[in-house]
Structure formats: C-alpha cells, structure tokens
Structure 1
C-alpha cells in the first residue's frame, strides 16, 4: 500500500527493511526531520530484528536458544508484539517458524533467493505426528533480556514491518509534535501528538507481561483514541509490482486513526524442491498457507493489530471471513480469481477511515515499556 494525500504532492519514498517506505507528515516544515528520524528508527529495527544479519539481536538470541541473553529494547518490543499476535490469533501468526522458512529455502533476503530443485531439508519432513516441537508460548521476555526455547528459531517477518511502522509513527508524533502516516511494506500507521488535556496512558504501571497490548479488534491506544487530524488515502494493490508501477490502484481507502495492513502471497514467491513457495506458512502444517486468498487488507488499532488480522486470514483460507466477522475486524479479501469479499464492518470503516469503535473499545495502552524506551 502507498500513502496519498488529497491536497499534497506524493510523499517521500525510499527502501528499508527490504521493502518500500512511504511517509507523510502534517507539518511540511517537519518533513526533513521526520525522514531522518524514520530512517534512524528503521535502522535500529533492522539491527535488532533482521533474520538476515548475523550481528542482529534476533540472530544472537536464536544462536543462544535455551539461555537468557541481553538485547536491545527494540527487539524486546518486537518480540512482545510477535507473541501478542500469536496469542490473539491462537498461533495462526507464529513467530517460531524461522527454521521452517530456512528449510523451505527462504534463508537470505528475498532479492538474493535462487530457484532450487533440491528436495533435501523440506520442512514437513520433520513434522512427524505427535512430535514434540518447541512453541512460541515458551518464549520468555524480560525488561532487557529474552530467552528463546532450545530448538526454536524466531522469525519476525510477520510482525516486523508492522512493528516498525508503529514505532516510526509514534516516534515522529512524540518527538516532532506533528501528525504523520507511515507505510512500511504495506503496513500503515497514523499517529498524532497527544493533546495537552489527554491523560498519558504511557505512564500506566506495567508488570512486564503481555496484557498491556490492544486486543485485535481495536482497543484504545494513546495516540489513536482520537483522530490524527490527518486523513490520507491508502492505495491497495494486489502486489508490489502493481503498487510501484504507477498503474491505478485496485482500491483506495481512507485512514484517519490507527493502522491498516495488506498481507499477500503474490510478492514473495520462490521455487524449492520443484514447487513454488510463498512466505506465509501455515503453522499447523509447516507448508505454505492455502491460496484461497491472494491478498487480505484489514484495519486495526495499530499496524501490528491490522497485520496480525490480515496474516491470520491468509492462513485460515476458507475460514477467514467468519473468523474476522466474529471479531468485528474490517477486512477486504481478494480471491485467486480476483473476486472480492468484505467483512461486515468493512464499509463502515471505509467511511470513518479507522476501526469504528476505536475510541470506545478497551482502554489498555498499546505500547510496552520496552517500546517506550526505544522511542526515548
């Protein structure tokens, strides 16, 4: 997805984290500072969370599986977001699939992947019925330390870009005092400075568990319980080639608060073992998710919430729409033949530009202490 402003030129765009980044700020005088801040935050996310950097905190933690290891607050926040997404989706969005992705051939940045007919090491070979496998539920997170269970390899590909979009948007709003919209690879977040008369929920006491995040249906968060004052049009395309080709978008929707994300099986595909793979794995089988939908777009209280919903929908396949409707999640699903299906709350969200009950939902803060520290 890309960000469009009805009355402004196209916003700045660049590449980071292996994808495109779009940024729009309400105050034009803050644009240069916002770009610099965004690039700095994204560099920190890359150093902390990349599976393709041997020096990243994530890879250090994976190599030290079974032991506590001190890591940056950025990785602590990302792991909290990943575990939260897994909990909210009952494991459909699973951060513990790193080993399976490597076995499937996704062992380097996507641009460096090469086709392979070698069937050796295919993931499902090790998925014997009843076999005991480490679980994401065993990931342990402290204020500045994490412990990955022995035998598990964490991959943050599902939540990483969404977490980065949330972190960038909140950083710009807090530090520069201007509303903004940022898209990181199709995960979009808008944020605004907190009004002077608004209680700062960031000061809520926290016991460092995972109960201090929004529910997936869109609980109140500090900077999106009110509209940002910045309405942006979000262009939705079926794949990155269409999105950045200059061709007309498939759909254009507004965003006024919270986040919106599109997950797709069309962008990252490769050949391994004589078959075509995509990067959305079904944790229940270890194989690529069924191709019922080629793209799913969902609104959420944050980019991370929206991404968790859109990714889970791809994994669920034919069961996605009832699952989304049961949670009141506004979503648009595109089938392989181009047929579009929307959930019950999609049209209402398109009129408001956000999750309809964003301000009325539960009052749990969306940011963990580690994420707040990462922004300080």
Structure 2
C-alpha cells in the first residue's frame, strides 16, 4: 500500500477561515495544484456573492429594480436554490432579509469590519422571496421591489461543493469553512473523519462528535454574530418578524452536499426544533438542535459520539 501524506492549508475567504486537509499518495505537485484551484473557487464565489463589495454581482443586482439583469451561472444557481428552499419552508428561509439584517446593525463584515455600501434605496414596503423572479432561458434575475439580497446561507456551502469536486481523486480530504464541513473519503488512519460539534455557549468545548465520510455537516447558530443595536438579537432572523429565533442555540445538519446542509441548517434553526424536525424528515436529512437549556433534540439517525 502506497504511503499516504497529509497536506494542510488555511486561508481567509468568504468572511471566514477556510481549512483544507488532504490525505493522498499522489505527487505533491498534483496536491498543491488542486489546493490552488480550491482557493480560486472560493475567490470566484466571493466575487459573485459578497454583500460587502460594491462591485460584486450580488451588490450590482441589488441596486437594480424592475428590470431583467443577466447574471453569471454561479449567481443564478445560488439564487434559484435559495428560492427553492424559501418555497419549501413557506418563506421561513428567505434570501431577501438583507435589509432587515442591516437594520439590526449587520452592516459590517464581521471579520474585517468593512461596511456594506449603501445600495441607494430604502425599503418602503415588505419584501419576500416572491419578489425575486428568474428567467431560465436568459439566465436573468429581476427584483420587482427594492431588495437587498443575502446569500450567506447558501454561498459558502456552494463554494465547498465546488471545491469538493476538485478533490474527489484524493483518498481523503476535509474542507472546513466557518462551520461548513465536507469530509471526503477516509482520514490518515483510514477511518471516517471525526468532526466536532461546537458547544454554542462554550466555544472551546464540544457538544460531541460525529463520524463522517463523503458527506457534509453544517452548523448554524446565533452565538457568533450579535446585533450591536438591539440587545439579544443575532443574524439569524425570522423573516416574518425581522427578529431572531430565540428557541434554539444551534442547529447542525448532515447532508450529501454542503449547500444542502448549509441552507437546511439555517432553515431548521429558524423554524425551531418542532417544525424544523418536520422539515428535515421530509427531506431525509439528519439534524441536531441545541436548545437554550443545552438539552439536545435530534433526528433518529443523528449519531453523536
């Protein structure tokens, strides 16, 4: 059996720390070439979807109302997927909450403190995902009302999935991007990867761990990004009220792909443990909720070690 080597790299991308680990007997040149491609993918998705850059595709789209705007395949697919999840959850997951987030003080990149530039308009009426229209034929998007789109619940997972495609030829690999994890193949001990689930009240501790291979797990929680304007509010908002979900500390979801896990951990968090459980059962995904008492609620097959 060929000797496997372990390669690790880390970088800041998409507003978070991204960590790569590859286990492979392939030549170093191939491994590093693929790692370089992973970083290019994260930069490309960030260029399309950043809320913090005035020249990103997302920012430019959010400045245009009532007209069809041609967008890249990356942005089109992300918006389409976000709208599909919004439809499935009856709007409890909604990519049009950007303005509500800004009103609670989430106007700054939480790592760099770079401000979100003013889009030049204020919302005068309520908006929802139904105010975003897609044209499949021309790959165009129209915002029927002034909307500040936020794709934070899908873009990072999408980037992880694109990166996963680049690393499939390796015996094992791990991609971790700010709570979004994809574990491919086996670790250096030729076992499924051991992934920790962070304790939402004690960041240095774990609620437990899971074993994962060829699957993703993503965790959503309101404990890292707090409002600087309204006490006890965080960035995971209930779209109908514009306020935070208070009945859950965190929600972790296991799915075949990171974008699925990313979106549905957010949706199941916002819905809360009862309705969120129904959602995950209907989509055959596994989830774990940490309640304010630190009591755990989980789907039947979420195995916490």
Q: Is the 8 A contact 1:48 1:74 kept in 2?
A: yes
**Alpha-carbon separation, structure 1, partners of 2:277 and 2:290:** 11
Q: Report the CA distance shift for 1:40/1:286 in structure 2 as closer, same or farther (over 3 A).
A: same
Contiguous gaps of at least 5 residues in structure 2: 115-122
> Which structure carries more relative contact order (alpha carbon 8 Å, separation 6+)?
1
Aligned residue for 2:198? 237
1:59 aligns with 2:59: yes
Q: In the TM superposition, what whole-angstrom CA distance separates every residue of 1:103-132 from its partner, at most 9, and x where no partner exists?
A: 221112113669xxxxxxxx9xx7xxxx66
Kindly report the root-mean-square deviation, in angstroms, between the aligned alpha carbons of the 2 structures. 3.0
The C-alpha deviation readout for 1:240-299, integer Å capped at 9, x for no partner, is 983xxxx55332212112321111110111221x4232110101211112x211111111
Q: After superposition, where does 1:93-112 map in structure 2 within 5 Å?
A: 93-111=93-111
Alignment of 1:38-49 (within 5 A): 38-49=38-49
User: Map of 1:246-257 to 2, 5 A cutoff?
Assistant: 247=204, 249-257=206-214
Residue number in structure 2 paired with 1:163:
158
Tell me the number of residue pairs that the alignment of Structure 1 and Structure 2 aligns.
Answer: 286
Q: Deviations over 1:76-101 (max 9, x none)?
A: 22212222222332322111111111
State the 1:147 CA deviation: 2.0
Q: Distance in 2 between matches of 1:102 and 1:254?
A: 37
Is 2:81 aligned against 1:81? Answer: yes
When residues 248 and 275 of structure 1 are mapped into structure 2, their CA distance, relative to the original with a 3 A threshold, is: closer
Q: Cα–Cα, structure 1 residues 134 and 346, in superposed 2: closer, same or farther, change >3 Å?
A: closer
> Could you tell me which of 268, 277, 280 is aligned with 1:321?
277
Compute the TM-score of the two structures, normalised by the length of structure 1.
0.68
Q: Does 1:139 align with 2:139?
A: no
Which string of whole-angstrom CA distances, capped at 9 and with x for unpartnered residues, describes residues 47-69 of structure 1?
A: 10001100100011111122122
Q: Is the 8 A contact 2:180 2:216 kept in 1?
A: yes
Residues 1:182 and 2:182 are matched in the alignment: no
Structure 1 residue 163 displacement after superposition: 1.3
Identify which of 250, 261, 264 aligns with 2:218.
261
Is structure 2 residue 18 aligned with structure 1 residue 21? yes
The structural deviation recorded for 1:43 is: 0.5
Verify the 8 A CA contact 2:217 2:254 in the aligned structure 1.
Answer: yes
Deviation of 1:24 after TM superposition, in Å, equals: 2.4
**Higher strand proportion (structure 1 or 2):** 2
CA displacement at 1:133 relative to structure 2? 3.2
TM-score calculated relative to the size of structure 2? 0.82
Partner SS for 1:252: strand
Give the distance between the partners of 1:248 and 1:271, measured in 2 at CA.
25
SS at 2:228 equivalent: strand
Which of 135, 148, 151 does residue 153 from structure 1 map onto?
148
Looking at structure 1, the residues matched to 239 and 126 of structure 2 have their Cα atoms a distance apart, in angstroms, of 14
Structure 1 distance, partners of 2:129, 2:289, is 29
**Alpha-carbon distance in structure 2 between the residues aligned to 1:18 and 1:107:** 13
Provide the residue aligned with 2:254 in structure 1.
299
Gaps of 5+ in 1: 1-6, 115-122, 193-228, 352-376
Please give the alpha-carbon distance, in whole angstroms, between the structure 1 residues aligned to 2:100 and 2:205. 36
Per-residue Cα deviation, 1:150-191 (whole angstroms, up to 9, x for no partner): 222211011121111112112333xx6665331221112345
Instruction: Please give the alpha-carbon distance, in whole angstroms, between the structure 1 residues aligned to 2:214 and 2:288.
Output: 18
